[in-house]
Amino acid sequence: MSESAEMPLELPPTDMLYMTYEGNWLTECTAKVLSVSAHNPGEDESVAPLAICLDRTVMHAQGGGQPTDVGRLEITATGVSVDVSKVLIDRETGVATHFGTLSGKTPPRVGDAVTVKLNVSQRRILSECHTAGHVVDSAMARCGKLMEPTKAYHFLDGPYVEYKGSVPIEERDSVLQELQEAFCQLVDEGFDTKIDILSKEEADELCNRQAQNFDVNLFADKRTQQIRVVTVAGFPCPCGGTHVRSTTELKQGRWGITGLKSKKGVVRVKYGRTSSS
């Protein structure tokens, strides 16, 4: 992407606070501005004119199947703010960039202190959506379908999880029904979410206890070689996203499994909000 090319090379990796269990619940933090540049939105209209790097952030950078957080940077000295519409991270350098538009006249400068504030309701719904995606994994395991997850799409416009494998056409309706029931049970049983930063060996042991369905090497942080493992509904897997505290919290949004497709060696389980109440 063009925005990574513009990033100064010497910046240290951004401390992504949501990666730890405690940090997952933070909705704001103070931070220091490390770089500010004008961004040419010509190539990607979804990103805004200012590109700002900080020493740390509470905002989730788009990736791992989860959309970006949106929010605001408030510059302490001037009271001016930047509305952040997208956060991207360079996986090689670990440097995150906040793209936003200035409301006010004075742009932030290197060294400025800022407060990073999330759009809390947006974060909440994205965390529910991502957590529900992991409940799909756990429901698959509960139904004896331990397939390798190959793609996860935790966006609100039709989320799904894909696995390597197949479900014969005559079994699809019954498997879908079993998965839907397992999903509801897992929500009702109220599992607490866990987030651990582990070595490759520890992650491998934890995630591949039931089946060798994760290659943990694919998920290791390029700099630390560590792996963040999230356990939702009792099912551990490598993950970089944000989550809600317990599966019971999905009940309020009434999440559930909505469909099952199987073709060309790919099983797609669709899920979503099954009621808007």
Site for Zn ion in 162-191 (CB under 5 A): none
**Closest separation between CB of residue 101 and Zn ion, Å?**
30
Question: Of the listed pieces 18-26, 111-119, 232-240, 252-260, which binds Zn ion according to CB under 5 A?
Answer: 232-240
**Closest separation between CB of residue 145 and Zn ion, Å?**
18
Q: For Zn ion, which is the closer residue by CB, 13 or 236?
A: 236
Tokens 């582990």, residue located: 198
CA-CA-CA-CA torsion for 113, 96, 241, 205, nearest 10 degrees? -110
Q: For Zn ion, which is the closer residue by CB, 135 or 176?
A: 135
What CA–CA distance (Å, rounded) separates 224 from 77? 35
**Closest separation between CB of residue 109 and Zn ion, Å?**
36
Q: For Zn ion, which is the closer residue by CB, 100 or 149?
A: 149
Q: For Zn ion, which is the closer residue by CB, 71 or 241?
A: 241
**Residues sharing a CB contact under 8 Å with residue 49, sequence separation 6 or more, in sequence order:** 38, 39, 40, 41, 101, 102
Q: For Zn ion, which is the closer residue by CB, 108 or 241?
A: 241
**Closest separation between CB of residue 117 and Zn ion, Å?**
24
Site for Zn ion in 59-98 (CB under 5 A): none
What CA–CA distance (Å, rounded) separates 13 from 144? 40
| In the complex, residue closest to Zn ion by CB | 239
**Closest separation between CB of residue 216 and Zn ion, Å?**
14
Tokens 């395991």, residue located: 141
Q: For Zn ion, which is the closer residue by CB, 57 or 131?
A: 131
Q: Give exposure, 58-78, as e/b (b: 16+ Cβ within 10 Å).
A: bbbbbebbbbbbbbbbbbeee
Rounded to whole angstroms, what are the CA distances from 197 to 95, 176, 228? 19, 33, 4
With 0-12 / 13-18 / 19 or more C-beta atoms within 10 angstroms meaning exposed / middle / buried, residue 138 is buried
Interaction pattern, residues 234-263, with Zn ion; x per rule: CB under 5 A: -----x-x----------------------
**Closest separation between CB of residue 128 and Zn ion, Å?**
13
Give the binding site for Zn ion (CB under 5 A).
239, 241
